[in-house]
């Protein structure tokens, strides 16, 4: 029930953000004097509507987004009343059209930034000094957090009935103990400890550790497990020993900020998120084969793109596991991604309309300097084949992603 509630709650959050996206277009268009005739939440048959002034507001039956109708977005629009021609959007200065078309993405960015600031002063943002690479993790002190069991086979899953208990837990080690030696071999870092444990034979081993500043020693029965090489996580697994512990990093995973400092932390985190978003978008074509593998029965790569369906499912998982930080970070990431994606210079995206507006402006400037007549506006009808191609590719990719999220979804919490 909690999972279903989380899915519904996340879907509502997405619907609200998309509706606000359209409201951004509408409000800026109205502020500049453009005529907006319709603003609706949802698609399909109208469930309820009312008219205020020259705009009809309402709700439609399919809650998968929203739209607003601005009169005369392009010179080729053939449904503009002659009386409304002076207020047609395409007649306005390019800077005003740019603000109107980018207002949707700006709304998504505002939602993401506002949510991040609230998270920064309440739950805290990810610590920028937290280890992020294998090299950094290996350099951490060998301070352990006990695992409830050891998974014998080479599988990344939670403990199940029948899994052997953690050898460290059976030997009465505790979270926060710092390992200093294994079988007399000194270990200074987490990487040292992994190397020494894996090289040891399964069975009895002595572990020197420090607890609350006091040295101590324990006898541990190392478990025999199957693991890939440390320097090749996708390599062939072999038999090694395991202590049944995880790393307890020396730095906290999150940092909480005061109201003023949270602005700087939010800006820094947003900058990092922007870089990661661009890299993720660049990798999308490379991930299509992995998505197809997931749809056809193969293992789902956790690094593959997800749709709104997948994001909602992850939101449901987060709520079911009381992981509200993850829930809201998913909301932040999705809004930021939508904001960036919508600014790509491709029709029918908002970024495509912005690119054409500035292309017209630049072309007119060049022709004026050359003493040639203004070539006028771009004919959108001639761009329709490219627009249809973008819609077709985007629709196919969306269908593939949604299918993968339904038949083989990404899960962050093992059942």
Q: Is there a contact between 393 and 349 (Cβ–Cβ < 8 Å)?
A: no
Residue 223's beta-bridge partner residues? 242
CB neighbourhood size of 201 (10 A): 11
Q: Residue written as tokens 């993405």?
A: 105
Helix residue ranges per DSSP H, 243-349: 261-295, 308-320, 324-341
Helix (H) or strand (E) run with residue 204 in it: strand 203-211
Q: Is there a contact between 344 and 39 (Cβ–Cβ < 8 Å)?
A: no
Peptide bond into 348 cis (omega under 30): yes
Contacts of 300 (CB under 8 A, 6+ apart): 294, 404, 408, 409, 410
Distance spanning both ends of the chain, measured CA to CA: 15
- Rounded Cα–Cα distance for residues 208 and 185 (Å): 9
- State the helix-helix crossing angle for 94-122 and 324-341, rounded to 10 degrees: 170
DSSP for 350-375, please give it: HHHHHHHHHHHHHHHHHHHHTT----
Pairing of strands 245-247, 144-146: antiparallel
DSSP for 17-73, please give it: HHHHHHHHHHHHHHHTT--EEEEEEEEEEEEEEEEETTEEEEEEEEEEEEEEEETTS
Residue 36's beta-bridge partner residues? 70
The token pair at 97 is: 């059209």
CB neighbourhood size of 18 (10 A): 23
CB neighbourhood size of 253 (10 A): 11
- Asked if 360 is an active-site residue, the reply is no
Whole-angstrom Cα Rg for the chain: 28
Contacts of 266 (CB under 8 A, 6+ apart): 113, 116, 117, 120, 125
Active-site entry in 22, 56, 134, 317: 22
At residue 232, φ and ψ (nearest 5 deg) are: -150, 80
Pairing of strands 203-211, 178-182: antiparallel
> What residues are labeled active site?
22
């Amino acid at each position: 029930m909690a999972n279903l509630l989380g899915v519904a709650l996340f879907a509502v959050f997405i619907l609200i953000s998309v509706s606000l996206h359209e409201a951004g277009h509408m409000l800026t268009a109205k502020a500049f004097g453009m005529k907006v005739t319709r603003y609706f939440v949802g698609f399909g048959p109208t469930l309820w509507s009312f008219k205020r002034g020259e705009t009809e507001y309402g709700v439609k039956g399919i809650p998968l987004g929203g739209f607003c109708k601005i009169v005369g977005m392009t010179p080729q629009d053939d449904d503009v009343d002659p009386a409304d021609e002076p207020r047609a959007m395409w007649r306005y200065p390019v800077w005003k059209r740019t603000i109107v078309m980018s207002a949707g993405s700006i709304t998504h960015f505002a939602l993401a930034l506002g949510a991040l600031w609230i998270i920064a002063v309440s739950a805290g943002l990810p610590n920028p000094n937290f280890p992020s690479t294998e090299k950094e993790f290996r350099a951490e002190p060998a301070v352990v957090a006990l695992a409830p069991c050891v998974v014998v086979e080479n599988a990344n899953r939670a403990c199940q009935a029948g899994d052997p208990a953690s050898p460290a837990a059976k030997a009465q080690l505790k979270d926060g103990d710092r390992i200093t030696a294994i079988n007399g071999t000194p270990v200074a870092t987490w990487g040292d400890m992994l190397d020494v444990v894996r090289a040891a034979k399964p069975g009895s081993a002595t572990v020197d550790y420090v607890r609350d500043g006091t040295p101590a020693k324990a006898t541990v029965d190392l478990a025999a497990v199957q693991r890939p090489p440390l320097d090749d996580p996708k390599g062939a697994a072999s038999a090694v020993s395991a202590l049944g512990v995880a790393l307890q990093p020396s730095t906290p995973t999150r940092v909480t900020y005061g109201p003023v400092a949270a602005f700087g932390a939010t800006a820094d985190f947003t900058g990092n998120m922007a870089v990661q978003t661009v890299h993720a978008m660049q990798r999308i074509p490379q991930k299509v084969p992995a998505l197809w593998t997931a749809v056809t029965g193969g293992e789902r790569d956790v690094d593959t793109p997800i749709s709104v369906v997948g994001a909602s499912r992850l939101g449901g998982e987060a709520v079911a596991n009381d992981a509200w930080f993850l829930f809201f970070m998913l909301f932040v990431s999705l809004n930021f991604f939508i904001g960036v994606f919508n600014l790509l210079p491709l029709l029918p995206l908002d970024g495509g309309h912005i690119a054409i507006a500035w292309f017209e402006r630049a072309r007119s400037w060049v022709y004026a300097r050359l003493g040639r007549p203004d070539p006028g506006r771009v004919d959108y009808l001639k761009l329709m084949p490219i627009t249809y191609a973008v819609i077709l590719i985007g629709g196919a990719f969306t269908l593939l992603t949604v299918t993968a999220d339904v038949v083989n979804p990404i899960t962050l919490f093992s059942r």
